[in-house]
Amino acid sequence: MPRPDSLTVRVLLTALVAFGPLSTDLYLPSLPTLVSVFDTDIATVQLTLSVFLAGFAVSQLVYGPVSDRFGRRPALLGGILIYLVASAACALTDDIETLIVARFFQALGACCGPVVARAVVRDVFGRDRAATVLAYMAMAMTLAPAAGPILGGVLTEWFGWRSNFLLLTGFAALILAATWTLMGETNANRDETALQPGRLLANYALLLRDRGFVGQMLTVAFAYSGIFAFISGSSFVLIGRLHLTPAQFGASFGAVVLGYAVGSFLAGRLSVRLGGPRMIRTGTAVSLAGGLLGVGLALGGVLHLAAVIAPVFLFLLGAGLTLPNAMAGAVGPYPMMAGLASSLVGFVQMTVAALIGVVLGHSHADSQLPMMTAIGLVALGAALAHRLLVSPRT
């Protein structure tokens, strides 16, 4: 097998982290179509997103301790297999209720990717280099949300909404084969007590008593929730209100995601030199500026493609600076329970994002203002979490 720090393994880890965004972004252009296909409403269709995040959040609490106990490789192989079966079920369903349930199980499998991949990075690269590696992985990973809606829009127009889930099924089969062939075990400190209820509770309590950990965790959760607010509401705003075609929506979505790619690239180049705390302060300030701009334009009644794209681009630029550094800051101090720390951060991250999605689904999500308000509020939350809980200690 290749060395765990080889380029081949880094590419595979990036693909594993991409399970989440690819599973949400690929079928975004088909969301308005699903409303008519299943004769339902926007709120019900958006449950396919929110339930995915709920399943993603719950399984976060499982994969980390399991990988700490049994190793990273078994946790990955089991999760990818679940994802493959659930993706096939999504493609074959004939009613919205079954699709929602299948999406939940798809999330249970997809979650193995980011949780275990982050723990592998901590295993292989240590605390100091983790932020840089995670940033470059995030930059490469933007191919998924950038290309996903574009490809999904073309597939939806040419072959229908089912083709998106058939593609995810094929992707899962490819990654399963690659993981089996290329991924060796990286957990050299397996904890035989990691799954004991008493030990789990004690470890969670240890993490939650750490003010710095909580601050980094909330920073990650709020920054990601702004991204999900755009994911959840963008198709209904850009397609429903601005009347873009699915393919045009995909191109616009890809342009916005470039902001995250640029931010992640800068994080990879500058994090070691400038330090994580400074990068996070800069990133949260940039995101807050984008959020406030978007709210101001929405309140002013400016309904134009640029009035949506420009503020979210700025928000994502800041998120690209923030997320890898905040994640490394949370997981880095705990090498003996890197999986558990990654799980807890991911659980809170996905829970907050799922709640944002539910609220948007019941807030006339085809309007620009609710989406922009959500982005502005979580940007403020990320800035305050880091300033009040983390900065005093750094």
Yes or no: say if 148 and 28 are a contact pair by the CB < 8 Å rule: yes
pLDDT tens sequence across 152-165: 888 888 988 899 99
The whole-model pTM stands at 0.74
**What tens digit of pLDDT does each residue of 335-382 get?**
677 777 878 888 888 788 878 877 877 775 556 888 999 999 999 999
Q: What is the per-residue pLDDT for 282?
A: 95
More confident: 248 or 126: 248
Q: Comparing C-alpha atoms, which of 263, 252, 259, 228 is closest to residue 378?
A: 228
**pLDDT band at 128, cuts 50/70/90?**
low
Read off the pLDDT of each residue in 53-63 and give the average, rounded to a whole number: 84
Q: What are phi and psi of 4, to 5 degrees?
A: -65, -20
Instruction: Out of 106-110, 175-179, 193-197, 209-213, pick the least confident.
Output: 193-197
Closest CA to 300 of 378, 372, 374, 228: 372
> How far is CA 271 from its chain centroid?
21
E strand spans, the chain? none
pLDDT (average), residues 221-238: 86
Q: Looking up tokens 């902001």, which residue turns up?
A: 259
Q: Is the pLDDT of residue 118 over 60?
A: yes
Amino acid (one-letter) located at 166: L
pLDDT per residue as tens digits for the range 250-263: 788 878 888 888 88
Q: Which residues of 146-169 are buried (b: 16+ CB within 10 A; e: fewer)?
A: bbbbbbbbebbbeeebbbbbbbbb
pLDDT of residue 138: 67
The answer to whether 364 and 370 are in contact (CB under 8 A) is: yes
Q: Assess contact for 321 and 86: CB atoms under 8 A.
A: no
- pLDDT given for residue 364 in this prediction: 58
| pLDDT value of residue 53 | 78
Tell me the C-alpha distance between 282 and 227, whole Å.
Answer: 17
Mean pLDDT of the chain: 84
Top-confidence residue, 4 or 304: 304
Q: Is the pLDDT of residue 129 over 90?
A: no
Mean pLDDT calculated for residue range 134-156: 72
Placement of tokens 């297999």 in the chain? 81
Under DSSP, the state recorded for 390 is: I
21, pLDDT greater than 90: no
Question: pLDDT at residue 236 above 60?
Answer: yes
pLDDT in tens, 40-50: 887 788 889 88
